[in-house]
Homo-oligomer: A and B are copies of this chain.
């Protein structure tokens, strides 16, 4: 028992990683890549065989991963990767520019806020509710998603929203209005909470959306090909900085942030092994 943390699970996972990275799957190489004595490697491999993740072929052929290893990462989606890489970048952004950021992903017929830099911002605007679902049409996050997602996806979502029981979703009943607003967003390159929502809300007298909101969200998409992986929204108070000025000074950094997230996500999910 020499040095590093004697933790069987970490070692076993190291073995699995080693097998995923290795070329040949002989005991020697596995043990070496996992930095384990061979006797330990054998024991752990036996357990992995027992558990069904690894198959032992023969003495000479060594071991092989089984399809069961897929179950260990099935649930990890691209949207999780985006959020993961986005978090540190978002914190950095907020430390520099003060305003709070939120990132959201689409899930079914609504946007889910997955992270926010509330703790890093000196300006406490919104509380952070993890995994908070918000209607597509009520915030910059959702509007940005709809504006930049592929056409077929946009049609599908809006059609579904129109059939929804929720009052806010039913703003999508006039697809023409929605499409006009989304076209404006696409042309401009970013979504704003206030004006677009106000426009939609006015079509329905008793809307929950309040035209006099003090806080505005400015959102841009994080793309992957033609798909929108997530949208990032910058929240600022109109009493401090007007929308014009916000767009002038903050839009560029916000777009850079989105681009950085795209690049890092790509590296994280498509990168080779080793």
Contacts and interface: CB of A to CB of B under 8 A. Distances in A.
Interface stretch (A68-76, A166-174, A216-224, A254-262): A68-76
Contact of A64 (B21, B24, B80): B80
Nearest to A70: B73
Given A9-B12, A9-B51, A70-B269, A65 B75 contact: yes
A211 to B, nearest CB: 32
A69 B11 CA distance: 14
Interface stretch (A55-63, A140-148, A149-157, A196-204): A55-63
A268 B84 contact: no
B51 A273 contact: no
B13 A53 contact: yes
Main secondary structure of the interface of A (DSSP, over half): helix
Nearest to A75: B20
Contacts of A65: 73, 75-76, 80
Interface in A34-85: 44, 47-48, 50-51, 53, 55, 57-58, 60-61, 64-67, 69-76, 80-81, 84-85
Contact of A17 (B22, B71, B84, B268): B71
Q: Which size bracket describes the interface of A in this complex? A: 35 or more
Given A9-B8, A9-B9, A9-B44, A69 B76 contact: yes
A10 interface: yes
A75 B273 contact: yes
A60 B127 CA distance: 14
Interface string A1-16: 0000101111111001
A177 interface: no
Given A8-B9, A13-B53, A20-B74, 6 more contacts: A10-B51, A17-B72, A20-B73, A64-B80, A69-B73, A75-B273
- Top 10 closest pairs, chain A to chain B, by CB: A20-B75, A61-B130, A9-B12, A69-B73, A72-B72, A10-B51, A8-B8, A20-B74, A65-B76, A17-B71
Interface of A: 5, 7-13, 16-17, 19-22, 24, 44, 47-48, 50-51, 53, 55, 57-58, 60-61, 64-67, 69-76, 80-81, 84-85, 130-131, 268-269, 273
14 contacts: A5-B50, A7-B51, A9-B51, A10-B47, A13-B53, A13-B72, A17-B71, A19-B75, A20-B76, A64-B80, A67-B81, A67-B269, A69-B72, A74-B273
